[in-house]
Amino acid sequence: MGVNEKFTPIRKGLLGFLLLKIISADKVYVADILRQLKGTEFATQEGTLYPLLSKMRREKLLDYEWKESDAGPPRKYYELTARGREQLRETSDYWQRISGTVKSLGQPPAS
């Protein structure tokens, strides 16, 4: 099996983190999120995204507001709550530590 499948659970776990990152940058609606993820290793579909977003909203990590759009019905724009930003900070720190570990292990000891 390829690397791609091996990392399926990891990608799945990281998706929430990435959503926090994406939403923290700007108010976005779902099509925006999909567009940003498209072409990356984390490309995903509405069927996965909506349940995840609603779960994160239930955990009070994010909230949404309705906004009129010129091309169709009003859209849900998501934004982070204070708690979501806190969570993002913690997760980013932790991610830094992980990727630091991944990089440093197995290297010849720096002298």
Site for other proteins in 75-94 (CB under 8 A): 76, 87, 90-91, 94
Asked if residues 34 and 59 have their Cβ atoms less than 8 Å apart, the reply is no
Does 103 interact with other proteins (rule: CB under 8 A)?
A: no
Q: How many CB atoms lie within 10 A of CB 64?
A: 18
Closer to other proteins by Cβ: residue 16 or 81: 16
Q: How far is the CB of 5 from other proteins (least distance, A)?
A: 5
d(CA 104, CA 70): 50
Does 21 interact with other proteins (rule: CB under 8 A)?
A: no
9-46: string of b/e by CB count within 10 Å (b at 16+)?
Answer: eeeeebbbbbbbbbbbeeebebebbeebbeeeeeebee
Does 55 interact with other proteins (rule: CB under 8 A)?
A: yes
**Which residues here bind other proteins, judged by CB under 8 A?**
1, 5-6, 8-10, 12-17, 19-20, 30-31, 44-48, 50-52, 54-59, 61, 72-73, 76, 87, 90-91, 94-95, 98
